[in-house]
Structure 1
Amino acid sequence: MTVRAGWLLPAGQTREDTRLVPLGTMAPETAMTSRDGVIAGGDPFAATGVTAMQVQIGTGRAIVQGTTAQGAYPVAITSPETLTLVEGNAQYARIDSVVLHVSDGLYDTSEQTAVAVEVIQGEPRATPTAPTLPAGTLRLWDITVPAGASAGTGGITWASALADRRRYTASYGGIIPRGWGLSFAGAYPGQYRDNGAGLDRWDGTAWQPLEPSVGWTAVTLAAGFSNSGNAQGTVRYRRITLAGVPFLQLRGGVSWATSGSIPNSGNLLASVLPANCRPAALTSLPIAAGGVDIKLDAQTSGQLRLISSSGVTTWAALSGVQYPLDA
């Protein structure tokens, strides 16, 4: 038996079942239900096309939530399973779903006690959609079956047909890994998830990013300025959060042609910074420049302005500049 479930078999689970399936208190969704999903680690339940109409699902572990009354089932696949898809409809494509399915005759109409990885067939349509799943199932993959697909016609092009629908779960208090779909609500204030670029925290109403994307964005300099002043590289910015406070960081350097004469009245940018990168109040910072220390004004309009009384040569440095954006 390669597909196993805990707390399902009428004779009780074996000691080996207990060691293999994920047990413990998992991430909740409501007061009495668990967030179902795949347990991260390696590439659980990987899908590989093995013949024209057959797909192999790899090993892995998961939690499958039934109805509120029946609870959640820990499930494991301990050896790869091969599934055969029905031939395509003559006229329309369809979308089939590969799922983990727990049948429990105490709660459903299956009249059996079993767990399996199986294909739920979608309806052939001009614009096909994935099938609706019954309780006790966890979607792993969607597979587009073209019209007329069969072993004789070349079957399914697996590279384009497979759509990853694995969503992940974690134990209570753990960070939920990034998986398919980010449109789910949190279960309790203080829950965390990986959004693919950083962490989100559920505040009871919405997910709040703890650390937005920290990639650098190059600015567009005004006429008369060029990048890499004093060999410090392109002028770039990024918005970060430190101890809950939004900050803007700058790096790089600017230069200009005429010593002692800063172009464009010192206004650096041809395109001002976006609204979420502007300080709530005018913020002035000391910076280094050729021949003299000067001031950088970060303006509420999104403009950055160099201000110097005299003595500046032909470059200014922005590396290391950092200032808060809140009031």
Structure 2
Amino acid sequence: MTVRSAWLSPDGQSREDTRTNQVGALTPVTDGKGRSGVLPGSAGGLYRVTGLGLAGTDGTMNAHVTAGRAVIQSTLDRGAYPVAVTEQVDLTFAGGDAQYGRIDLVVLRVYDDTYDGSGRTEAAVEIIKGTPAATPAAPTAPDVSLVLFSVAVPANASGLTWATAGTDLRPVTVALGGILPTRTDDTAAGGYPGHYRDINSTLQRWDGTAWVPYPKGIGGIAPAGAVTTASYGGQYRDSSAGVLQRWNGSVWLPAVAPPSFTSSLDAGYTTSTTYTAALTDTAVTALALNFVAPTTGAVLLHFGARMLTQSSSTATAYMSVQITQGSTVFLTVNDEYAALYGGPVYGSVSTMFRVYGLTVGATYTVTAMHRSSDAAVTCWFDNFFLRADPAN
């Protein structure tokens, strides 16, 4: 039969009619097939899934699979098999090989004589024994089965430590539209754009080609670690340093950029009549400040110092700046931007001006530059500083 209906035929409903009409019961993987898996849930909601769990008696090869429910999807014409394990199922694993270790699988398996000719029509919890090898690999799971656990059996093993022997491989499935609480190593694609899953305590949405951390909707602020590349220009996220960031289309920038600041309290001097970054008699050979150009491409640049012209009332001490981006000079040092002072007694001076036309997101370096108007006069600079504030 090509077209099947459930609870319609007056001649009775076949098993295939029932299985193939499980519409809405499963997380979809195609328009006609659902995802095989264990139904999630636990008492009190503490765990992702507890059904069909594996436990054993340490020091023995004896284990059991707990009660639980699952759905196993077969081919499109056979449909999906719902299975319920209502009491624990006891299992005994074979002892270890004399030379090599092996990997066994614990599976929930469906036998259907109509299709497989097995002579059985039932579901069963089984051990699929692996092949011992120097580098053992898990065996292939049988058709129409759901892998629950893999179990590593070392060479010569006569008993296992069950807290570490088994690896949980249980997939889960939920109703159509439900959020899938999946394992951290689950690489399965979503069933449709708009499909959601919870993984690593992060909500993700399938966009048709990849799982995208959520929130990605307009206005959503993504938590720290959830988003590497934004979904749109203007998206916000919380950084690992606790700083709110905004995506400008190519990089993350501070949403509210703090000022950049540096200073020195170690006085130094120069007699050079051309601008120099180096001062004598100070540990700070060149005071420099790095800043990242904000989204406006402009900053307010502040700088200044306590200055004096030693034993001179006619000479002038100049402090100005040079701005570079890498090896490229963006702003050449000159007197027009300088803070200046003349006198044999210290005086504090500073200035400020707007720097614009910066490349958004690029890093710039401001370097303090100094000079004297007279080569015979020593100009001192103390408590000198540089500061860059984001500007409109």
**TM bin (shorter chain):** 0.5 to 0.7
* Structure 1 partner of 2:56: 49
* Structure 1 partner of 2:100: 92
The one-letter code sitting in structure 2 at the alignment partner of 1:215 is A
* Structure 2 partner of 1:159: 163
**Distance across 1 between alignment mates of 2:64 and 2:389:** 57
Structure 1: state its 5+ residue gaps. Answer: 1-10, 14-21, 217-233, 270-277, 287-293, 307-311, 319-327
Asked if 1:69 corresponds to 2:77, the answer is: yes
**Distance across 2 between alignment mates of 1:285 and 1:103:** 73
TM-score (norm 2): 0.54
* Structure 2 partner of 1:30: 30
* Structure 1 partner of 2:176: 172
* Structure 2 partner of 1:195: 199
CA offsets 1:72-122 (integer angstroms, 9 cap, x no match): 112222222221101111111110111111111112132111112121111
**Distance across 1 between alignment mates of 2:65 and 2:78:** 26
SS of the residue 1:83 aligns to: strand
Larger radius of gyration: 2
Mark the CA change 1:116 to 1:284 in structure 2 (over 3 Å): closer, same or farther. Answer: farther
CA offsets 1:234-258 (integer angstroms, 9 cap, x no match): 96547688xx999655799987555
* Structure 2 partner of 1:267: 290
**Distance across 1 between alignment mates of 2:355 and 2:147:** 54
The one-letter code sitting in structure 2 at the alignment partner of 1:156 is L
**Distance across 1 between alignment mates of 2:361 and 2:296:** 9
1:126 to 117, 126, 134: 134
SS of the residue 2:205 aligns to: strand
The one-letter code sitting in structure 2 at the alignment partner of 1:34 is G
Bigger Cα displacement from structure 2, 78-87 vs 193-202: 193-202
Question: CA shift at 1:59, angstroms?
Answer: 2.2
Q: How does 1:273-292 map onto structure 2 within 5 Å?
A: none
| 8 A contact 1:63–1:75 mirrored in 2 | yes
**Distance across 2 between alignment mates of 1:161 and 1:127:** 16
* Structure 1 partner of 2:224: 215
The one-letter code sitting in structure 1 at the alignment partner of 2:206 is W
Count of paired positions: 266
* Structure 1 partner of 2:157: 149
**Distance across 2 between alignment mates of 1:250 and 1:264:** 28
| 8 A contact 2:51–2:66 mirrored in 1 | yes
Mark the CA change 1:24 to 1:246 in structure 2 (over 3 Å): closer, same or farther. Answer: farther
The one-letter code sitting in structure 2 at the alignment partner of 1:123 is T
Q: How does 1:236-275 map onto structure 2 within 5 Å?
A: 236-237=242-243, 248=253, 258=264, 265-267=288-290
**Distance across 2 between alignment mates of 1:141 and 1:304:** 55
Identity of aligned residues (%): 37
Question: CA shift at 1:69, angstroms?
Answer: 2.1
Mark the CA change 1:303 to 1:57 in structure 2 (over 3 Å): closer, same or farther. Answer: farther
Question: CA shift at 1:186, angstroms?
Answer: 1.9
| 8 A contact 1:214–1:238 mirrored in 2 | no
**Distance across 1 between alignment mates of 2:224 and 2:128:** 41
Mark the CA change 1:256 to 1:87 in structure 2 (over 3 Å): closer, same or farther. Answer: same
SS of the residue 1:115 aligns to: strand
RMSD of equivalent CA atoms: 4.8
**Distance across 2 between alignment mates of 1:47 and 1:296:** 66
CA offsets 1:287-320 (integer angstroms, 9 cap, x no match): xxxxxxx9999965564889xxxxx9999999xx
**Distance across 1 between alignment mates of 2:389 and 2:87:** 59
Structure 2: state its 5+ residue gaps. Answer: 1-12, 16-21, 43-49, 217-221, 226-239, 266-285, 301-352, 367-383
SS of the residue 1:107 aligns to: helix
Q: How does 1:222-237 map onto structure 2 within 5 Å?
A: 236-237=242-243
The one-letter code sitting in structure 2 at the alignment partner of 1:78 is T
* Structure 2 partner of 1:16: none
| 8 A contact 1:167–1:181 mirrored in 2 | no
**Distance across 2 between alignment mates of 1:37 and 1:63:** 6
Mark the CA change 1:300 to 1:133 in structure 2 (over 3 Å): closer, same or farther. Answer: farther
TM-score (norm 1): 0.63
